[in-house]
Structure 1
């Protein structure tokens, strides 16, 4: 079992170190290795997670081909940038569902009886979703560069923007996912409870439909959530000045992108600390 493996690693490390337990970060790394192995052993799930955005890119890029008038930007290029945001946001979905299932099947309760620090559990989960998000981003960018003429940023500044948007986005999404894991009444209902709002957010945040074509009231709703701002940040990296006319404000508003994503990191942390439950509802 995964929790037994992590406990064994912790105990073995303690014995070799003369009885002193390793740091929570080191144990979290051991937990991350376990979580990653479990993720890739579920081959059907892993293939779906990596293939889904690629399939959606091919479908939407084929149906809505061509360029936006007067920009030189193709529809497919906009989709690549939007799907990068959705790929980062899958940290929310993965953690919300995965932790809810761990709570329901008793994994969290069993881990409480091992030397594993509670923070190490979350470090392991976060590292796993960080790895899967990174792989997904690499795949999307490779396809975008190779088949959809996605411009390769020529200056380091744009890549720095890519890095901080991705970093803030995945941290905010992960913390929000941990907090949302307490919403489903059971592990079986977690996928339905979490997936529906995530799908809705993708359609109103500029992933599948250009943000400038959406009604103003939908844009206002999307502006409260991180996905809209992640997509906007990624468009700034790969579309540059050519894509400015596609934005609602005719600007990428990178200062607001940083502000909103940073606020979601802090807000997600507060939500985690105030709402997270270690026991299932039936355990009280």
Structure 2
């Protein structure tokens, strides 16, 4: 009697592969961008505010500043800086309390996803929207107001590092200040006044050197003033630096202050950020 043995059925072994860190961050970044674009009010305000403001300035003010710089050429620097601050500091400071109040952050913390991926997604969203907003503003200003773009690689390089340091400082500060809001409704009340005051004292809406001395001194404590000053070195002639409070554009000090605010913002994020509201414990 012969016994036939059936061949053993091979067991399919599937090895689950975890996505790489970069892929996780990009996936979270796409999600954050999608969520941002779905909020029409945020898109219109963030992308349109700098354009609307430069339109207003061009309609009200005419002539030159210091006898050599067009009004739009001067104020475009403030509009770029305030646009970058809006998409980073203001948007994050307002929307993170909403996510915290709705329990989204609490649920995220309970997943196996590394916590840093959530922060990376926010950073990617800020960078992408900030680049799009700045490009749109520059295209608009060139087309309608004959804006003179930087003509050398060195100035574009300065534009790059000022924008990177400024956005980093504002992003970290936005995440940090979000912890001050006790609820979703209070986020705007906490962040918007701070943002407006900084814009008024930092040379966004007025020629910085025409502001009262005490306002100038207060503005030097915060990154927006230094972002505007660094961008003026990019879009204005070198000779205009003599009209700055320090007698030059002081790019070394610009880099130092913005880098210091990156450190301050990071420390505040690490020590104050909350995933849940106080009522959740």
TM-score, normalised with respect to structure 1:
0.90
Residue of structure 2 in register with 1:94 after alignment: 91
Deviant stretches of 4+, over 6 Å: none
Distance in 2 between the 1:282 and 1:60 partners? Answer: 46
Greater mean alpha carbon deviation, residues 175-184 or residues 235-244? 235-244
CA distance in 2, matches of 1:73, 1:127: 35
Counterpart CA distance in 2 for 1:245 and 1:68 is 13
The 1-side partners of 2:76 and 2:107 are apart by 41
Shift of 1:242: 4.2
Pair 1:73-2:69 in alignment = yes
Q: 2:114 aligned with 1:112, yes or no?
A: no
One of 41, 44, 47 as aligned partner of 1:47? 44
SS of 2:194's equivalent? helix
Indicate if the aligned counterparts of 1:210 and 1:246 stay in contact, CA closer than 8 A.
no
What is residue 241 of structure 2 aligned with on the other side? 244
Question: In the alignment, what sits opposite 2:33?
Answer: 36
The answer (yes or no) to whether the contact 1:73–1:242 under 8 Å persists in 2 is no
Which runs of 5 or more residues in structure 2 are unaligned?
1-13
The 5 A counterparts of 1:124-135 are 124-135=121-132
Paired with 1:280 and 1:52, the residues of 2 have a C-alpha distance of 31
Distance in 1 (alpha carbons) for counterparts of 2:239 and 2:57:
21
Superposed displacement of residue 38, structure 1: 1.1
- Residue 185 of structure 1 and its aligned partner are, at CA, apart by 1.1
In the alignment, structure 1 residue 261 sits paired with structure 2 residue 223: no
Contact map agreement 1:145 1:151 (CA 8 A) in 2: yes
The residue number in structure 2 matching 1:146 is 143
> 154, 162, 175: which one pairs with 2:159?
162
Given that residues 49 and 83 in structure 2 are in contact (C-alpha distance below 8 angstroms), is that contact kept between their aligned partners in structure 1? no
Aligned residue-pair number: 268
Distance 1:63 1:245 in 2: 26
How far residue 159 of structure 1 moved from its aligned partner, in angstroms, is: 0.4
Find the aligned partners of 1:144 and 1:244 in 2 and give their Cα distance: 22
Q: Is the 8 A contact 1:168 1:265 kept in 2?
A: yes
Is the radius of gyration larger for structure 1 or structure 2?
Answer: 2
Gaps of 5+ in 1: 1-16
Alignment of 1:15-26 (within 5 A): 18-26=15-23
